[in-house]
């Protein structure tokens, strides 16, 4: 029995959803353990597109269990929308989708705060997804949050919500000079949600423990990417959770000993959405071309993603903090028409050369990347299904990545469709 964790090694959107969907057939349970509605995981199957924000990307496999762990900040409205979207497409979630009773609930005041805090930051805004992620995790750590289990106890929920909203309204009115929110309206709305989500809610600690006892195979689905990890990413331009493999244990309540294999996902280049340093960012027409060819627009917010070259300094950092065992490289096809491809192997700043990812944002913002260049393959790879058919120069590029990162690449993705995958 091997349990596997899949994590993003960049600033999110590496194609984790597509890979989870492909891997899911070999597992019994697929688990989301951190993040929330900020995630947008895209699956394309026979021209049909699915984007999951909260529901694990294994849900299209009817015989698998999908679990939303306690480490998730859970937006019931978004969840119910996703469930409704699936049932419209005749995909049943009854009996195979579970939500932790310990997950923290996202409320409208979290989203409102998210937007107000961003506005107040002005030029230094993080560029959040506006899904209330930061404020909800803030309440959790401050021990002011409301958990799913509490939502299901009407009287208790009423009292706690009233008190919490009173405090939030002091912020809205006195600090932000904005409109207050009504606890009664939220209460009514969330009582309806409580009833609708209750069939999905359970003690996922118990569910996972029993699954482990029964030798079930578990696939842990990371959201975001290591460079958005609140501890190891480009703080404060990060999300508010641990997006590296270390997030699994606190995010679902299984021992770290239960993670046997860690797969890191990286694009063949790099993207980032939102603000923050991005040493290998490509400006101008070339960046625009990659954005268009790669369809690099946010799955959650639709914002254009910034595009850049593969950054081996950043990826090695991500590999270290998660203890990644192997790599999957996605979006190779997007580089099909690049004559020359660059890989960043170091950063130069003030005559100093960095091979480790620096904590100091000043260094990241002002460094000059040191590039190694490889020649492009200038051939369409999107129809390749067998490694033998990959152009020699594309294979050279993959081998260069393996060498620089020090890990094997076990799959290459050559298009958004489920079948556009090459095992190596």
**Token match 């480790």: residue?**
356
b/e sequence 130-140, b meaning 16+ C-beta within 10 Å:
ebbbbbbbbbb
Among 82, 229, 333, 336, binds ligand GDP (CB under 6 A): 333
Q: How far is CA 43 from CA 4, 22, 99, 195, 367, in A?
A: 19, 10, 21, 29, 36
**Token match 């203890």: residue?**
323
When asked if residue 133 is in the footprint of ligand IMO (CB under 6 A), the reply is: yes
3-state DSSP assignment of residue 382: coil
**Residues of span 216-255 touching ligand IMO by CB under 6 A:** 223-225, 228, 239-240
When asked if residue 207 is in the footprint of ligand IMO (CB under 6 A), the reply is: no
What Rg, from alpha-carbon coordinates, does the chain have? 22
- The minimum distance between CB 209 and Mg ion, in angstroms, equals 30
- Which tokens hold the place of 271? 């993207």
What is the Cα–Cα distance from 424 to 411, expressed in whole angstroms? 5
**Residues of span 277-306 touching ligand IMO by CB under 6 A:** 299
3-state DSSP assignment of residue 68: strand
The residues carrying an active-site annotation are: 13, 41
- The minimum distance between CB 121 and ligand IMO, in angstroms, equals 12
Q: Which residues contact 84 (CB under 8 A, 6 or more apart)?
A: none
372 bridge partner residues: 343
What is the Cα–Cα distance from 60 to 38, expressed in whole angstroms? 21
Report the partner that residue 128 touches, choosing among Mg ion, ligand GDP, ligand IMO, none (CB closer than 5 to 8 A by kind): ligand IMO
Among 118, 121, 127, 158, binds ligand IMO (CB under 6 A): 127
Q: Which residues contact 175 (CB under 8 A, 6 or more apart)?
A: none
- Which tokens hold the place of 316? 């090695």
Among 334, 343, 364, 398, binds ligand GDP (CB under 6 A): 334
Report the partner that residue 127 touches, choosing among Mg ion, ligand GDP, ligand IMO, none (CB closer than 5 to 8 A by kind): ligand IMO
Under rule CB under 6 A, how many of the chain's residues touch ligand IMO? 25
- Which tokens hold the place of 261? 């294999």
When asked if residue 318 is in the footprint of ligand GDP (CB under 6 A), the reply is: no
Under rule CB under 5 A, how many of the chain's residues touch Mg ion? 3
- The minimum distance between CB 305 and ligand GDP, in angstroms, equals 9
Report the partner that residue 414 touches, choosing among Mg ion, ligand GDP, ligand IMO, none (CB closer than 5 to 8 A by kind): ligand GDP
Q: How far is CA 286 from CA 289, 307, 333, in A?
A: 5, 9, 16
Report the partner that residue 330 touches, choosing among Mg ion, ligand IMO, ligand GDP, none (CB closer than 5 to 8 A by kind): ligand GDP
What is the Cα–Cα distance from 78 to 72, expressed in whole angstroms? 13
What is the Cα–Cα distance from 9 to 4, expressed in whole angstroms? 15
**Residues of span 30-89 touching ligand IMO by CB under 6 A:** 35, 38-41
Among 64, 131, 316, 331, binds ligand IMO (CB under 6 A): 131
Binding site for ligand GDP (CB under 6 A): 8, 12-18, 40-42, 44, 294-295, 299, 330-331, 333-334, 413-416
Binding site for ligand IMO (CB under 6 A): 8, 11-13, 35, 38-41, 126-129, 131, 133-134, 223-225, 228, 239-240, 273-274, 299
Binding site for Mg ion (CB under 5 A): 13, 40, 299
């Amino acid at each position: 029995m091997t349990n596997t964790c899949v994590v993003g090694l960049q600033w999110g959107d590496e194609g984790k959803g597509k890979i989870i969907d492909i891997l899911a057939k070999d597992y019994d349970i697929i688990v989301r353990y951190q993040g929330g509605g900020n995630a947008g995981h895209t699956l394309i199957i026979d021209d049909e597109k699915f984007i999951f924000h909260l529901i694990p990307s294994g849900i299209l496999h009817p015989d698998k269990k999908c679990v939303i762990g306690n480490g998730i900040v859970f937006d019931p409205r978004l969840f119910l929308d996703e469930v409704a979207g699936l049932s419209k497409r005749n995909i049943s979630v009854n009996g195979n989708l579970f939500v932790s009773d310990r997950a923290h609930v996202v409320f409208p005041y979290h989203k409102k705060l998210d937007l107000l805090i961003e506005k107040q930051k002005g030029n230094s805004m993080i560029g959040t997804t506006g899904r209330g992620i930061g404020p909800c995790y803030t309440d959790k750590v401050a021990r002011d949050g409301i958990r799913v289990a509490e939502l299901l106890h009407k009287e208790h929920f009423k009292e706690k919500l009233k008190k919490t909203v009173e405090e939030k309204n002091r912020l809205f009115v006195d600090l932000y000079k904005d409109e207050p929110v009504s606890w009664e309206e939220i209460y009514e709305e969330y009582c309806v949600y409580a009833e609708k989500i209750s069939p999905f809610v359970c003690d996922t600690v118990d569910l996972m423990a029993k699954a482990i006892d029964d030798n079930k195979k578990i696939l842990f689905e990371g959201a975001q990417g290591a460079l958005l990890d609140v501890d190891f990413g480009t703080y404060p331009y990060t999300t508010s959770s641990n997006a590296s493999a270390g997030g699994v244990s606190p995010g679902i309540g299984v021992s770290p000993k239960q993670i046997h294999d860690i797969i890191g996902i990286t694009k063949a280049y790099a993207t980032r959405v939102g603000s923050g340093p991005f040493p290998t960012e490509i400006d101008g027409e070339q960046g625009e071309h990659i954005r268009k060819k790669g369809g690099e627009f946010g799955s959650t917010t639709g914002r254009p993603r910034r595009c850049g070259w593969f950054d081996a300094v950043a990826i090695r950092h991500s590999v270290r903090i998660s203890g990644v065992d192997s790599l999957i490289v996605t979006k190779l096809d997007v580089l099909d028409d690049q004559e020359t491809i660059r890989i960043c192997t170091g950063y130069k700043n003030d005559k100093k050369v960095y091979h480790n990812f620096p904590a100091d944002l000043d260094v990241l913002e002002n460094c000059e990347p040191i590039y190694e260049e490889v020649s492009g393959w200038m051939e369409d790879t999107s129809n390749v299904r067998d490694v033998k058919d990959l152009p020699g120069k594309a294979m050279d590029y993959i081998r260069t990545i393996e060498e620089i990162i020090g890990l094997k690449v076990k799959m290459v993705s050559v298009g958004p469709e489920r079948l556009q995958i090459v095992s190596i």
